[in-house]
Amino acid sequence: MTVSGMTGFCRLEGAAGAWTWAVEARSVNGRNLDVRFRGPPGFDALEQTAREAAGTRFRRGQISVNVQGRRAESAGQARVNVAALDRYVTLCEPFVAAGRAQAPRMDGLLALRGVVEVGDEDEAPEVHAAAEGAMAATVIQALEGLKKARMEEGNALGALLSGFLARIEALVCAGKGEAGTQPALIKERFERRLTELAGDAVSPERIVQEAAAMALKADVREELDRLSSHLDAGRALLAQDAAAGRRLDFLTQELMREANTLCAKSAAVALTAIGLELKATVDQFREQVQNVE
């Protein structure tokens, strides 16, 4: 089986120089391919890498790639943002003057967000580019791991879908066995009903003619043959290398259409029961097909 699912997850970590990072790639079901990316500031090229790598590996599903990067604080030069410090002091002055607060302490001010900054001015462009390249490699590896996870899900899905197709095939075979009883049942019911309405005035030839016309309309062999053909197409789709989810979804609609017609034409209780079971199985098949890429 080469079926691929649409849900999966992979997390990888990496480090280069003063930088450490973690990449999370996850996917859920989606009608089309939708890639969403979040990354650290200053590493804009990573988004293009993620989109291109996802586009070559997946055809459907909502793909989320999240890159969290952190540079060691010791690698940058710490400095005080005087403008931010002055703003905090200015904000405090009315409250201190009104006696509603004590004058702020320096250690408290330094702990406020934006007062102490670690600059990156000392990071050479080639060092930054090397870190970005290493992050990009991890992004690609994470998407490859995501693909592997989706293939593992696909293996389980393929076995499940094959089981449903085998069940549908068994029901089609049973339906073919019951289909031969349709003409006799229709003739018997028509003859009984017509006799109740018209008595002995109806000739046996008329009964045979009318019953034959009704039996022709109620013939389900064509529906059963098409169901068999659809089953062959379904197995071929499961065996191919290309993404088959959308075509399997269309095939499921055809299976359900034939099952509905079978139930509508059925004149036998046993055949109706087979048709209802067939519809239930096709519906279960359809639910699982929604998870196939």
- Give the pLDDT confidence score for residue 206 in this predicted structure: 55
pLDDT, tens digit, 9 for 90 and up, residues 253-284: 999 999 999 998 887 888 899 999 999 999 99
pLDDT, tens digit, 9 for 90 and up, residues 176-223: 988 777 666 665 665 566 555 555 555 566 555 555 555 555 678 889
Q: What is the mean pLDDT of residues 65-77?
A: 79
The pTM of the full predicted model, rounded to 2 decimals, is: 0.71
Q: Which residues lie across from 5 on neighbouring strands?
A: 292
Mean pLDDT, the chain, as a whole number?
86
- Give the pLDDT confidence score for residue 227 in this predicted structure: 96
- Give the pLDDT confidence score for residue 111 in this predicted structure: 85
- Give the pLDDT confidence score for residue 80 in this predicted structure: 83
Burial of residue 285 (number of CB atoms within 10 Å: 0-12, 13-18, 19+):
buried
- Give the pLDDT confidence score for residue 30 in this predicted structure: 93
Cα angle: 57, vertex 284, 54; to 5 degrees:
10
Ramachandran region, residue 247 (left: φ > 0; alpha: ψ -120 to 50; beta: rest): alpha
pLDDT, tens digit, 9 for 90 and up, residues 211-238: 555 555 567 888 999 999 999 999 999 9
- Give the pLDDT confidence score for residue 219 in this predicted structure: 74
Rounded to whole angstroms, the Cα distance separating 29 from 174 reads 35
Q: Is residue 144's pLDDT more than 70?
A: yes
- Give the pLDDT confidence score for residue 128 in this predicted structure: 87
Amino acid at 287: E
pLDDT top residue among 12 and 102: 12
Q: Is the dihedral of CA 104, 107, 108, 113 positive or negative?
A: positive
pLDDT, tens digit, 9 for 90 and up, residues 16-68: 988 999 999 999 999 999 999 999 988 999 999 999 999 999 999 999 999 99
Q: What is the mean pLDDT of residues 67-96?
A: 82
- Give the pLDDT confidence score for residue 63 in this predicted structure: 97
CA distances from 182 to 3, 67, 68, 100, 212 (A): 40, 65, 67, 94, 11
- Give the pLDDT confidence score for residue 121 in this predicted structure: 52
- Give the pLDDT confidence score for residue 37 in this predicted structure: 97
Domains of the chain: 8-74+123-151 (3.30.230.10), 78-119 (no CATH), 152-289 (1.20.140)
